[in-house]
Every structure is written in structure tokens, then in C-alpha cells.
Amino acid sequence: MAAAITLLLKVLVTSVVVNSTLLERCHGDSFIDLDVFGAKVLNVIATPVENYSTTLMGVQHANLNFCNVTVTYTHPGTADRVNVFACFPLTGWNGRFLGRGGRGFITGVDAGVLAPVTAQGFAAASTDGGHTLHKQSAETWALNSPGNINWNLLEDYAYKALGDMTLIGKQLTSQFYSSPPKYSYWAGCSTGGRQGLMFAQKYPELYDGILALAPAINLDKFVVAEYFVQHVMNRVGHYPLPCELDAINKAAVEACDDMDGVEDGVISLPSLCRFDPNTLVGNDFECDGRTQKFTKAGTVAANAFWASPINPVEREKWYWYGVNHGTPFNGMAGTKCANSSGTSCLGAPFVVAEEFIRLFLAKDPDYATTKMTDDEYFSMFHRATQEYSSMLGTSDPDLSGFKSRGGKMITWHGLADELIHVNGSSNYYKQVMDLDKNVADYYRYFEAPGVNHCFGGIGPRPEEDETLAALMAWVENGTAPETLTARSQAGDGTVRELCLYPKTLVYTGGAPKKPASWQCQ
């Protein structure tokens, strides 16, 4: 597998010599008769970009040469205005099209994010979905007026603009290179992961291979559950210091770290962790140079974070999963304090969760989520499923259309994801498996111990380039990945091979940083 990945990565390296024919072709008039049912193209702008440099995710990319294309269109009768962004390498096109996904309430990415993949030879495209890019908020577009959802823009965000983007992007690619792409791939994490699964479910003919990482599937369920810890803190009226929550997390890791056979700061088997934060109450911890004591309120917040949402009236009713031990609290359970004494703290909820409840469920921009009663909060679960499951849930386990067309899909999810409950992904994979015992023939799921949402955390993380190369080897050569290579995010040389679900990594002896010291069991 490693040799196949290395070979594919070498194939993707491009020359720095600009193709003069493509350079001359990079103008709006070169792209004509773009045809997408239900859409009307308003404008096409194309500009050649040479010797472009950018830094993305801490990695510097220099001497990029590409054609930067923006297509603006509308769906007549809806008053929307959607942009498709595309970047085409001016030399060394590898014959492949790559669609890129968004995050949170942001539908896609712009040319600045697309440009680096042109260095690997991809023709790449994304979309703004008719919404403002770079703003993690739906405040400006969710409602036409209080009580009235902007269903057209929500539909664009959920799936419609994404299907349009792919069709437009492939047509642009064919016209620019005078040849259609041989293979088409999708890559995205979080919202981009949800979008990838959406393609497999709703548009199975559009992509040959899909990377759907840490996917925001079951959005109608998990996003309400994301707010549970905040709701609990609002109800008890106490918000622990961030450093207290950090200290609780550290204690949980110390208690459950060695369950996989080695102490490395990572809980690899979180389902076995039974740490009780009540044992900490009254003990000391350090916070910004001051000695503090663990509080009962901190315990309440921690238990709400790790547990499934619990209704005080219907305690046996299950709503959604909790979060694994070893996961940072700052995603769903964030707090902010005016001082280190803990006397002036408030909740700091994840914006997507708070806005989904306020804008899409209450449909009122002035709705006070901090004042919700238990009845109001738990009623939101039913409302969310009733109103948004078919549009945003993206949890249909029937992938027969994707399978029949020969598609291949890889998902990995960090076991310490602080924003999306990882058990939602494993549960979805089980549902697909229940329908098709041969699911691994076309869809493979892996879990990454110690990895936070998409990136971050102390655990080794699969690099996108290598994972994409593994997907390409599967699609184009029939070499299915038995494991996914994950590398240390701290640069300490740790390498591990993540296991195909439901197997998990167990330490078998030797140097813990070496993959040979671990086995999938």
C-alpha cells in the first residue's frame, strides 16, 4: 500500500513550465453553454494567475500557476446568487477533477484554498452556496423574516448548489482542457464530510471516490445535542473555569490512558473508560498560576459532556450520543471568564449549535437560548428531526446506487472530536453494514484515537494527501486500504496504521512510536 501511495503522489507532481495554449484560453469567453438544469448562468470570469504563493494549514505553497475561474448563476424564481470557484493548473493536469467541501454553515472554499491542489495536478472546484464565505454564521441568510426559513438558500447549502458546482466544474474542466476528467474525487471534513456522504446518497453518479472525514451527518440530531452541556450550565447557573474543565479532562486521560497497553496521553479505547469526576471535587488544581479546587459544578458539566442528553422528566428516553473521555471541553462545553477567580463566567457555545436552535428551530433571531426550559430544549430534538431530517440529516444507509456505479468512499473520524459525536459515524457505518454485509467492498470507515475535529489533538492524524492517494489507488487500481497511515501532529515521528472498523489498535510491545508495535484486534 505504501509503495502504491508513493507512486501516485509522484504522479501528481507538476512542472513549473506554463502551458501557453492554456494560458491564452484562460478568459471568460472560453467557457460557453454551461448547462445545469434549473440554473441560469449570469457571468463567467477567468483570470490567469502565475507564481502565486500562499500558506494553508501551516504549509507554504509557492510558484503556483493556474487559471482562476468564477461562475455566477441563479435558480430563476428564487432570487439566489451562487458562485462556483474553480482553479485549473496551467501545466501538468493529471486528468482528475476534485471537489472541495466547507465547514459549519460555510458551504465551500474559495480559490485561495483550491489553488494548492493545482500543484498536485487537480482541476479543483467549490461553491459558496449563495452565502458569504469566511463567516461561520447563518445569521444573514437563515430567515426571510422571523418565523420564515429561507428554504431556497438552505436547500443550496444542504445539497443543491453542491450538485450544481460539480456539474459546472466538470464542464469547465472539459472546455479548458478539451477533454473530460478521467476520474472525479470529493474531499471534505465536517460539513465537507457530510457533503461527501450526501453525494454518495443523493448524487451517486457524480464522484468516483469520496473522502468524507469527521462527517456532520445526523445534523438534525447531533447539533441539538451539541448544546446540551450549555443548557445544563444555563439551568444550574454556573460556568466552570476553562482551566478546571481542562484539568478534569487531564485527570480522565490519566485514568484511562493505559487501557490500550501504553501510556501516551491518548485514550485509544474510550468505550472502556469509566472515570468519575466526582472523585475530584475538593481537590486542588492549578489555573493560571493560582491553586483552585475542583467544584461540583465542574463535575456536572463534565458528566453532561460525556453522557447522552438526559431529560429530567423522561430519564430513560435516549436522544443522542455523548462525547468520549479524553476530548477537549472547549468545543461544546466552552466557557469564558472575565477573571481567573471564576466569579464572572458565561457559556461560550459552538456557534452552529446555538444558531441552529435559535434560527432554524425557534425561527426567531431574538430567541434566548440561555433561558430555555428543559421542556423547550428537549422538544427541539423532535422538531429538528421532523423539519430537517430529509434535507440535512444525510444519514440514509442505502448506498446501493453508489455501489452499483463503482464508487469508493473512505471516512475517518477522530475519537476525541470536540464538535461532532464520533459514535454517530460508527452507528451510521453499522447501519450501512446491516443493509450490505459487503460494505467494505466500496466504503471503509476508520477511527483515529486522540484526534480532535478534523485536526488537532495529541493522536496521530491521517494526512489528506496520503488518504486521497489511498482512495485513488482503490478507485483506479482496485487496491483497497486495509489501514490508514496516521502521523504525529507534533512532529515527533509517531506513525500508526489505523484499523478498519470495528477493529481497534492495541499495543503489542516495542517502541510505541513505531506502527509495528501495534495491531488491529
Cα distance between residue 244 and residue 493, in whole Å: 31
| DSSP H helical ranges for 257-370 | 296-306, 351-355
**Paired sense of beta strands 143-145 and 148-149, if any:** antiparallel
Which of these is catalytic: 126, 184, 190, 395? 190
Q: Is-catalytic flag, 395?
A: no
Which is the catalytic residue, given 325, 413, 421, 453? 453
69: helix, strand or coil: strand
Would you tell me the crossing angle of helices 242-256 and 296-306 to the nearest 10 degrees?
60
User: 205-232 as b/e, with b when 16 or more CB fall inside 10 Å?
Assistant: ebbbbbbbbbbbbbbbbbbbbbbbbbbb
Asked about 131 being catalytic, the answer comes back as no
Q: Quick one: 82 exposed, middle or buried, by C-beta within 10 A (0-12, 13-18, 19+)?
A: buried
In sequence order, the β-bridge partners of residue 127 are 84
Buried b (16+ CB within 10 A) or exposed e, 125-155: bbbbbbbebeeebbeebbbeeeeebbebbbb
* 466 grid coordinates: 496520503
Phi, psi torsion values for 346, nearest 5 degrees: -135, 165
Given 417, 421, 425, 426, which residue is catalytic? Answer: 417
Which residues are registered as beta bridge partners of 498?
Answer: 484
Residue 421 annotated among the catalytic residues of the structure: no
What is the set of active-site residues?
Answer: 190, 417, 453
